């Protein structure tokens, strides 16, 4: 309800004809309050479109359970929507979510294990790549664990992800269909499973079309960072031989490609077409707007969190390996 | 060290001539390992540029302390840098940070109090506006609390923020100096302290220049959302009377202004100049790049977290109210 978004405690107080302090005490279930006064406050909340049970400690009982959600960092805008999906699923099931970024991803699972040992978390949701499957194996014997966005090859760890190989093929086939055949790939480091799979899809689509990939046009960027990507892509443009399309495994790289191409005095899409990946809001903000592969970001987070909660509540739930659908969104950069 | 970023457990194992499992056990301080074997692993880590003490449980002792950091959500890219500053400060002092977004900001402080009551957090860092100062007063008697980015008027709660009034005056004075006098304001809801202060600065700068603000050109957007902002700004452009500059209190609104103006067939900056706020990376990604007010985002987070840790370690630390410097960054949108 849009109206309830703007209700403040002072409005509740005004409507109930009590002080703000009284509204506070009712919400906080603290102090002595006459039943009649309490009823007036609850009534006012309901009239203002608020569900009193949501705000008066009923939905968040003292034993409310908590999930630890681990991300590589909070910089990649892709994760903002994944987080929203996780939060919504957790809230609907009465769980709280706490977000944590490891100080060093290579050793992160040791850190998470310590954190869960020391705290009240009842499950672990991993929103990043795991290299150390031995340690993951160890943790999953102690605590419910589910992976979101990325996945690993342990058959008994559930994950929700996308088909990266197929999605790359869709992107490359589309570029081929509009007459581009000199296609560069801007990828992340191959330590990320998604990067390996997307590169595989890129190569197989070219191969299927009878084309040979140009190894000078396959670049791996150390982190999803706009400035780094601009300089890497600029060096690509300086080569004697130049691509007529750039396929980027992230919209951040795609935005950087547009910037680098335009800075270099070339036009998007006339000289070089650009395709991104993720469909984050940035892809609509840049000019020209970015053609991209949509990932169902909120759904990835939502479904992974639901599977984790099912596992928490019923440890015998069988593992699930889910690949959600992606889709090509054509905009002006191609 | 760039090299150490790429070291994996298998490389450590190869160099030490032991199994991956052995490296795991050393890092995890688990199981029986011969002193000689352990020494080989630590030696290999050191040779690969890793500090063994960082990874072998020394830096994260069993009693590692945790800080609860509360945000309105994870969607505003401004907060990604603030978070990084918080994490860096906490890590340097041996604290862990857990990030939490309230389900409803109006009642968030009740939720935080319950969470801290039930968990091991030793301090609360608020990265959002607080309306309910009575409840804040109550929490701060129980737990160390510091505010970051936003601030409230309780004299004994420390905060680190910026001078919003002055920053707005800088932005408006700059637009006046380049010959624009018909200036619109795209603001957030006035329930946010920053929005009230930035509007105050906007009005006072116009007033000082002998100009009258046009109330039809002062718009308040419900949340920091690109799509909502585009539609609100488009309706502004449709008016018979049109501004020659738009001052936006967020770069997200600034990017939306550029998009709306270009969609409408007008040019930035020739027809309408645009100024944003925050200097998030988005401001460099859009074309034309956005003139904006830089906020020292990492420093805001870093300093607020340091003050909180000082307060945790010495409860008699006097409150500090710190305003960090902002600066105007001129780019092509003006």
Interface of B with A in 153-192 (CB under 8 A): 191
Measure in Å the smallest separation between the Cα of A213 and chain B Cα atoms. 26
DSSP-assigned letters across all residues of A10-39: HHHHHHHTS-HHHHHHHHHT-S---HHHHH
Closest CA to A326 of A281, A279, A282, A286: A279
- Looking at the complex, does the CB of residue A20 fall below 8 Å from at least one CB of chain B? yes
> Measured between CB atoms, which of A99, A191, A227 is closest to B98?
A99
| Residue A109 to residue A70: CA distance in whole angstroms | 10
Interface test with B, best of A52, A74, A253 (most B CBs within 10 A): A74
Q: What class, spelled out in words, does domain B3-55 have in CATH?
A: mainly alpha
Q: Residue A60: what pLDDT? A: 38
**Homologous superfamily, domain A164-294:** Response regulator (3.40.50.2300)
pLDDT at A3 exceeding the cut of 60: no
| Residue B130 to residue B157: CA distance in whole angstroms | 12
- Looking at the complex, does the CB of residue A107 fall below 8 Å from at least one CB of chain B? yes
Question: Chain B partners of A333 at a C-beta cutoff of 8 Å?
Answer: none
| Residue ranges of domains in chain B | 3-55, 65-162+298-325, 164-294
- Encode pLDDT of B273-289 as tens digits: 999 999 999 999 998 99
Q: Residue B274: what pLDDT? A: 98
- Encode pLDDT of B28-83 as tens digits: 666 677 878 888 888 888 777 676 655 554 333 345 699 999 999 998 889 999 99
- The SS3 of residue B175 is helix
pLDDT at A61 exceeding the cut of 60: no
Q: Residue B312: what pLDDT? A: 95
B70 to chain A: nearest residue by CA? A98
DSSP-assigned letters across all residues of A197-236: HHHHHHHHHHHHTT----GGGEEEESSS-HHHHHHHHHHH
Q: Which ipTM score applies to this complex?
A: 0.81
pLDDT at B2 exceeding the cut of 70: no
- Looking at the complex, does the CB of residue B73 fall below 8 Å from at least one CB of chain A? yes
- Look at B110 and A226 and tell me if their CB atoms are within 8 Å: no
pLDDT at A239 exceeding the cut of 50: yes
DSSP-assigned letters across all residues of B82-146: HHHHHHHHHHHTTEEEEEEE-S-GGGHHHHHHHHHHHS-EEEEEE-S----HHHHHHHHHHS-EE
Sheet of B95-101: strands edge to edge?
Answer: A321-324, A158-162, A145-148, A121-126, A65-71, A95-101, B95-101, B65-71, B121-126, B145-148, B158-162, B321-324
Paired tokens of A95: 């769980």
Q: Residue A283: what pLDDT? A: 94
Paired tokens of B256: 């939306």
Q: A3-55 and A164-294: same fold?
A: no
- Encode pLDDT of B200-241 as tens digits: 999 999 999 999 999 999 999 998 899 999 999 999 999 889
Identify whether the C-beta of residue A325 lies closer than 8 Å to the C-beta of residue A279. no
Question: Chain B partners of A80 at a C-beta cutoff of 8 Å?
Answer: 73-75, 77
Question: B65-162+298-325 maps to which CATH number?
Answer: 3.40.50.2300
> Measured between CB atoms, which of B9, B83, B111 is closest to A74?
B83
- Look at B120 and A118 and tell me if their CB atoms are within 8 Å: yes
A65-161+298-324: CATH architecture = 3-Layer(aba) Sandwich (3.40)
- Looking at the complex, does the CB of residue A29 fall below 8 Å from at least one CB of chain B? no
């Amino acid at each position: 309800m849009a109206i309830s978004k703007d209700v403040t405690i002072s409005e509740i107080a005004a409507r109930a004809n009590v002080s703000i302090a009284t509204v506070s005490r009712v919400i906080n279930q603290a102090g002595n309050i006459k039943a009649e006064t309490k009823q007036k406050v609850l009534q006012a909340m309901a009239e203002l479109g608020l569900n009193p049970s949501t705000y008066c400690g009923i939905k968040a009982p003292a034993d409310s359970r908590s999930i630890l959600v681990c991300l590589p960092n909070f910089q990649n805008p892709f994760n903002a929507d994944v987080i929203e999906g996780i939060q919504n699923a957790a809230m609907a099931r009465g769980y709280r979510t706490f977000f944590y970024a490891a100080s060093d991803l290579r050793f992160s699972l040791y850190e998470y294990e310590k954190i869960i040992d020391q705290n009240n978390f009842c499950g672990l949701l991993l929103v990043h790549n795991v290299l150390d499957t031995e340690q993951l194996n160890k943790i999953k014997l102690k605590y419910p664990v589910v992976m979101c966005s990325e996945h690993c090859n342990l058959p008994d760890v559930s994950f929700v992800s996308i088909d990266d190989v197929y999605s790359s093929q869709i992107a490359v086939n589309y570029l081929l269909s509009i007459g581009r055949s000199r296609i560069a790939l801007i990828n992340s480091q191959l330590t990320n499973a998604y990067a390996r799979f997307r590169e595989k899809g890129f190569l197989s689509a070219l191969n299927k079309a009878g084309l040979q990939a140009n190894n000078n046009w396959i670049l791996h960027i150390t982190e999803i960072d706009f400035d780094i990507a601009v300089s890497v892509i600029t060096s690509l443009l300086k080569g004697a031989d130049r691509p007529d399309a750039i396929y980027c495994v992230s919209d951040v790289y795609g935005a950087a490609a547009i910037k680098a191409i335009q800075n270099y005095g070339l036009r998007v899409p006339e000289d070089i077409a650009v395709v991104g990946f993720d469909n984050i809001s940035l892809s609509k903000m840049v000019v020209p707007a970015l053609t991209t592969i949509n990932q169902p970001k909120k759904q990835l987070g939502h479904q992974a969190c639901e599977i984790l909660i099912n596992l928490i509540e019923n440890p015998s739930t069988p593992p699930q390996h889910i690949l959600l659908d992606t889709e090509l969104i054509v905009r002006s950069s191609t």
